[in-house]
Amino acid sequence: MSVLGVLAGILTTGCWLPQLVRSWRTRSVGDISWVYLLALAAGVLLWVVYGASQGDLPIVLTNAATGAALITLAVMKARYRRPEESPA
């Protein structure tokens, strides 16, 4: 089951790469909502805490990587925000 968990973690974490690359190239992240980013970040943080409490390194590492992708996306969203776009 450990291999299955690692594979699932790699796939779900890796799915962020195309979005990050596209957002970087287009400098457009206006369609990604702050509520979505914050809710997902909270869930990812809970997965990291859960994985740490269970001593499950694959859960911790893959969710930490997802968290890093979310932070990167949030920074890009704040940085590339259009002047008329509100932060909410």
pLDDT in tens, the chain (88 residues): 578 878 888 888 888 888 888 888 888 888 888 999 999 999 999 999 999 999 999 899 999 999 999 999 999 889 887 665 556 5
**For residues 80 and 27, is the Cβ–Cβ distance under 8 A?**
yes
Residue 87: per-residue pLDDT? 61
CA distance 38 to 73: 11
Residue 63, classed as helix, strand or coil, is: helix
Q: Cβ(48)–Cβ(19) under 8 Å? A: no
Domain ranges of the chain: 2-79
| pLDDT value at residue 75 | 92
- How many other β-carbons are positioned within 10 Å of the β-carbon of residue 32? 15
Return the structure tokens found at 48.
Answer: 């990291």
pLDDT for the residue numbered 55: 94
**pLDDT computed for residue 31 by the predictor:** 83
The architecture of the domain spanning 2-79 is Up-down Bundle (1.20)
